[in-house]
Structure 1
Amino acid sequence: MKAFFKSLYIRERFFYISLGIILLFIISFIFPKLFYISKLLLLVFATFTILDIFILYVTKTGITGTRQVPDKFSNGDENDVFLRLENYYTFPIFTKIIDEIPEQFQVRNFSIEKKIKASSVIELKYKLRPTERGEYTFGRLNIYVHSVLGLISRRFFFDGEVMVPTYPAFLQLKKYDLLAIGNNLTMYGIKKIRRIGHTMEFEQIKEYVIGDDLRTINWKATAKQRHLMVNQYQDEKSQPVYSVIDKGRMMKMPFNGLSLLDYAINATLVMSNVVLKKQDKAGMFTFSKRVENTVIAEKRSSQMNLILESLYNIDTNFFESDYGRLYANIKQNIKHRSLLLLYTNFETVEALNRQLPYLKGIAKSHLLVVIFFKNTELDQLIDNEATTIQEAYDKVIAEKFSFEKRLIVNELKKYGIHSILTTPENLTIDAINKYLEMKARGLV
């Protein structure tokens, strides 16, 4: 009996009809002839209510529901969650599905309403976009069922707590896989990179086909074979490429729900995959007050899993990053010339100048690319027309900060340090473009 009352829910229609009958009884004190009509309506209403309860509870298992979630969520991406409902009633039912989704999403009114035909099965899908890494716990799957009468709902609940870990954006790996094949990126709507010169690693001599570079014709082989032969080169392989992630307070800045650190983490995962597909060695480490989460640059089969697990628990802190310690660690532990992609953020030239001696020291032994971010909110202020004195003041300040970013690029270029000034949403593709450009120029 306790379970019965726990699963019984009165619908709004029941309250509205009850209120109408009560009002009719009140009016019947003024118009006595309405009293008999009120009693008749009450009797009919009670009969339909009992009937509704009977048909909903006549079978013990009226409906079953299951939730299918992935083994892990991809941070910042749309992840699919599947629901499967099977109706055991011999008549159509109306359902309201309330899935207790993880508290990190802060969604309090999530529900799906669906009609299910008699003795049938339906499958539903909804999407969730996590914006932080960690553990996401689902609660119960609640299904409220009512008949065409719609007076009473019966509640069913399925599935206990389920925990799904959220990792860096691994779903983006497939999206960018083809970028590892070559440098023609036009199919992605991305700028096309002109291949400059050749890399130094000779592969083979082959027959000329239309489209081959005429500068690669091998005249000795052509004379022997009596038709055009060309030298074929391949990208140099096994070059170490490290993604270096700043965990300091400047990386805490949010953008579209994700912090700059999360954008850097997602870009690192995708970049590492592209590097391995290009037969180079991928590695990574993070730094703030000290250097952590180190994965030595290798190209073994388990490397992507090592990098993914290392990226899982990275978080920012509120310290200023110690570039001196970063320089000392790189000098001590990375002996071979490597490409270092440094994900950080500088807002002013003064902030850069404090760290510039260490960056210059790193650039002497390695190919350093400093990747930092545009402030897109400031760009919006610059683009908007100022109509008040306060808006004009804000616009001038925004232009000053935007100009500082461009000065930082020029300052780095002065000392032969490569840089990428990008928006958070374009970070991944800009970093990949830079890597492929350097491969094409033979710098890596």
Structure 2
Amino acid sequence: MNPITIFKQLHLSNRFFQVLAGIVLVFVIGYFVPVVGPIGEIIFYGFIVFFGVDALILYSRKNPLSGQRVTPQRLSNGDENPIRLQINSSLNFTVKVEIIDEVPHQFQLRDFSISTSLPPNQEQEFRYELRPTQRGEYDFGDINVFLQTALGFVRRSVTIPASETVPVYPSFIQMRKFEMYVISNRLTDAGIKKIRRLGHTMEFDQIKEYVRGDDVRSINWKATARANELMVNQYQDERSQNIINIIDTGRVMKMPFDGLHLLDYAINTSLVISNIALLKDDKAGLITFSNENAGVVKPQKRRTHIRRIQERLYNLQTNFLESDFERMLIALRKHVNQRSLVLLYTNFETFSAMERQLPYLQQIANRHLLVTIFFENTEMTRLIEKKPETLGEIYTQTIAEKFSFEKRQIVRALNQRGIQTILTPPKELSVNAINKYLELKSRGLI
């Protein structure tokens, strides 16, 4: 092996310096107590021998390790994504290893490592999870492994080439989770409310086995008697309705909560809503806007359409400028002619901010069923619930209550003008938006 390569891979361990410090201490004592001097020499020469043996064992093979990193083709934003490291040892003895994976800089993991032992001539798999909070491309580096024997005087570094770039997309894990709930009719398990239907005004579809969540009033007793198990009538909802997600990408959506911006919560939820709409044979569309031209994905009901929506959401970013609601209104009128359910994701912090956009909201509500979605400030809520102890805390709590009251005023003002609203904490956005969509659909309002 090349001496330069050996030198680069060679690292002295903490044990090496600890033993060396002990030997120095023995020699210092031997200076004052001559009897101890020869003992120090014996220990020193023994240390040199063990050091050499340790190094020879570690460098007995040119390529002691091989391996790879197994990552998904894309990562899901805001979710825990599994990463696997497969390390194969070709050594004939057990070694202690410290594995340092070069994770993307976006995670800011300065001390990430896995310490374990590798048995001889075996492959082991190690798992960990990463939670990205930004969309875009993430660059993984190499896998660095530090080996040492039981003696532990020397560490050898081995670099396994594993550089790769993995894109982070809007939360498709959350989308798939709700998709499975829809397919298995278990939305109530995810916190989705069971919507009571006043009679059946829809077309009969089929008779099927009863599953939890079905309306017990739909039980077909004749079919139940024949099959000797509960059977229910299934009715078909009105289909091919337009579901339009409109996302404000202005400065108001830059506010962070739990590592994600409000924009990311809106993106993840709009992807979930679009997927559920397509599963229910509705048409899903998307409009994004800020102070510039609006981006539009026209509503369609093909299942492959979700990919177009996902690609549109992938590179969506906020800016620090005021959004132009007039541009959004023009884009909606131009590209959507049929009456639709419009879910508008924005954030009104003050009543005056809502009043400036109210004329545009009313124009949308005249032609479509508009649901305006904005966010509770959870930090304000915590301040209000906390018991104040000083004059400054009382003042801060009073201001927080004022802003909270304004949020409730906004809801009341919009509802008085026939505009549906959702005021929600960011983490509960998906569940609350799905509940509203299913509620409006079951009531036949769209």
TM-score normalized by the length of structure 1: 0.93
Measured after TM superposition, the shift of residue 65 of structure 1 is 2.2
Structure 2 counterpart of 1:225: none
Structure 1 counterpart of 2:357: 355
Q: Hey, what's the Cα distance between the residues in 1 that align with 2:378 and 2:209?
A: 48
Unpaired runs of 5+ in structure 2? 222-231
Equivalent residues in 2 for 1:91-102, closer than 5 Å: 91-102=93-104
Q: Against the structure 1 CA distance between its residues 343 and 208, is the aligned structure 2 distance closer, same or farther, given a 3 Å change threshold?
A: closer
Q: Hey, what's the Cα distance between the residues in 2 that align with 1:204 and 1:432?
A: 23
For 1:317, what is the secondary structure of its paired residue?
A: coil
Contact 2:191–2:431 under 8 Å retained in 1: no
Contact 1:348–1:405 under 8 Å retained in 2: yes
Structure 2 counterpart of 1:33: 35
Q: Against the structure 1 CA distance between its residues 18 and 204, is the aligned structure 2 distance closer, same or farther, given a 3 Å change threshold?
A: closer
Equivalent residues in 2 for 1:134-283, closer than 5 Å: 134-181=136-183, 185-200=187-202, 202-203=203-204, 213=217, 233-283=235-285
Q: Against the structure 1 CA distance between its residues 364 and 175, is the aligned structure 2 distance closer, same or farther, given a 3 Å change threshold?
A: same
Structure 1 counterpart of 2:421: 419
Q: Hey, what's the Cα distance between the residues in 2 that align with 1:283 and 1:183?
A: 24
Structure 1 counterpart of 2:400: 398
Measured after TM superposition, the shift of residue 142 of structure 1 is 0.2
Structure 1 counterpart of 2:229: none
Contact 1:342–1:371 under 8 Å retained in 2: yes
Structure 2 counterpart of 1:23: 25
Contact 1:242–1:341 under 8 Å retained in 2: yes
For 2:179, what is the secondary structure of its paired residue?
A: helix
Contact 1:373–1:424 under 8 Å retained in 2: yes
1:74 to 2:115 alignment = no
Contact 2:243–2:342 under 8 Å retained in 1: yes
Q: Against the structure 1 CA distance between its residues 370 and 263, is the aligned structure 2 distance closer, same or farther, given a 3 Å change threshold?
A: same
For 1:267, what is the secondary structure of its paired residue?
A: helix
For 2:294, what is the secondary structure of its paired residue?
A: strand
* AA matched with 2:67: G
Q: Hey, what's the Cα distance between the residues in 1 that align with 2:148 and 2:205?
A: 73
Q: Against the structure 1 CA distance between its residues 87 and 216, is the aligned structure 2 distance closer, same or farther, given a 3 Å change threshold?
A: closer
Structure 2 counterpart of 1:319: 321
Contact 1:96–1:114 under 8 Å retained in 2: yes
Q: Against the structure 1 CA distance between its residues 322 and 65, is the aligned structure 2 distance closer, same or farther, given a 3 Å change threshold?
A: same
Structure 1 counterpart of 2:389: 387
Structure 1 counterpart of 2:335: 333
Structure 2 counterpart of 1:226: none
For 2:322, what is the secondary structure of its paired residue?
A: coil
Contact 2:66–2:88 under 8 Å retained in 1: yes
Q: Against the structure 1 CA distance between its residues 205 and 134, is the aligned structure 2 distance closer, same or farther, given a 3 Å change threshold?
A: closer
Measured after TM superposition, the shift of residue 185 of structure 1 is 3.4
For 1:29, what is the secondary structure of its paired residue?
A: helix
Q: Hey, what's the Cα distance between the residues in 1 that align with 2:442 and 2:186?
A: 11
**Structure 1 stretch displaced more, 206-215 or 149-158:** 206-215
Contact 1:179–1:274 under 8 Å retained in 2: no
* AA matched with 1:203: F
Q: Hey, what's the Cα distance between the residues in 1 that align with 2:263 and 2:428?
A: 14
Contact 1:74–1:171 under 8 Å retained in 2: yes
Partner of residue 113 from structure 1, selected from 103, 112, 115: 115
Measured after TM superposition, the shift of residue 208 of structure 1 is 13
* AA matched with 2:117: K
In the alignment of these two chains, the number of paired residues is 431
**Structure 1 stretch displaced more, 106-115 or 179-188:** 179-188
Q: Hey, what's the Cα distance between the residues in 1 that align with 2:208 and 2:129?
A: 51
**Any idea what the Cα deviations from partners look like across 1:55-112, whole Å, max 9, x if unmatched?**
1111122122211111111000000110111121111110000011100011111100
* AA matched with 2:41: K
RMSD over aligned Cα, in angstroms?
A: 2.2
Q: Hey, what's the Cα distance between the residues in 2 that align with 1:120 and 1:207?
A: 51
**Structure 1 stretch displaced more, 368-377 or 160-169:** 160-169
Structure 2 counterpart of 1:342: 344
Partner of residue 129 from structure 1, selected from 124, 131, 151: 131
For 2:268, what is the secondary structure of its paired residue?
A: helix
Q: Hey, what's the Cα distance between the residues in 2 that align with 1:25 and 1:416?
A: 90
Q: Hey, what's the Cα distance between the residues in 2 that align with 1:197 and 1:441?
A: 10
* AA matched with 1:56: L
Contact 2:178–2:187 under 8 Å retained in 1: no
Measured after TM superposition, the shift of residue 180 of structure 1 is 3.2
Q: Against the structure 1 CA distance between its residues 358 and 140, is the aligned structure 2 distance closer, same or farther, given a 3 Å change threshold?
A: same
Structure 1 counterpart of 2:9: 7
Measured after TM superposition, the shift of residue 414 of structure 1 is 0.6
Measured after TM superposition, the shift of residue 299 of structure 1 is 1.1
Contact 2:205–2:236 under 8 Å retained in 1: no
**Any idea what the Cα deviations from partners look like across 1:155-213, whole Å, max 9, x if unmatched?**
1111242101100000112210144358763323443322344454x235879999664
For 2:332, what is the secondary structure of its paired residue?
A: helix
Q: Against the structure 1 CA distance between its residues 105 and 355, is the aligned structure 2 distance closer, same or farther, given a 3 Å change threshold?
A: same
Contact 2:294–2:331 under 8 Å retained in 1: no
Aligned identity (percent) is 47
Measured after TM superposition, the shift of residue 289 of structure 1 is 1.2
Q: Against the structure 1 CA distance between its residues 281 and 355, is the aligned structure 2 distance closer, same or farther, given a 3 Å change threshold?
A: same
Q: Hey, what's the Cα distance between the residues in 2 that align with 1:14 and 1:126?
A: 31
For 1:4, what is the secondary structure of its paired residue?
A: helix
Contact 2:102–2:142 under 8 Å retained in 1: yes
